[in-house]
Structure 1
Amino acid sequence: TWTVNLVAMETVSLEHQIQSVQRHIAFLKKEQMELLHGLHLEILRLQKHCSELTHDLEMKELEARQQDVLDRELEEKCRAMEAQLQEKEKDNLELRKELQHKETLVAALRSSLRSKERRFLEELKRRSHRVTILDTELQKQTEAAAYLSLQLHATAQRLPGPEQPPAQARAQAQAQARPRRRGHRAPARRPPGDGPRPREPAQEEHEAMPDPALF
Structure 2
Amino acid sequence: MRNLMAALAAAALLGGCAATSGGPPERTAPVQRAAYAQSGPSSLTLYTVINNRSGAGAHTGLLINASQRVLWDPAGSFYHPDAPERGDVLYGFTPQIELVYEDYHARETFRIVEQTVEVAPEIAEQALRLAMGKGAASRSTCSLSTTSILRQLPGFEAIGSSWFPKVTMARFGALDGVTQKVITDDDADANHGVLIRAERRNVPKVPPPQLQDSR
Same-fold status (TM-score > 0.5):
no
Task: Report 1 or 2 for greater relative contact order, CA contacts < 8 Å, sequence distance ≥ 6.
Answer: 2
Normalized per residue, the structure richer in strand is 2
What is the TM-score with the length of structure 1 in the denominator? 0.13
What is the TM-score with the length of structure 2 in the denominator? 0.13
| Larger-gyration structure (1/2) | 1
Normalized per residue, the structure richer in helix is 1
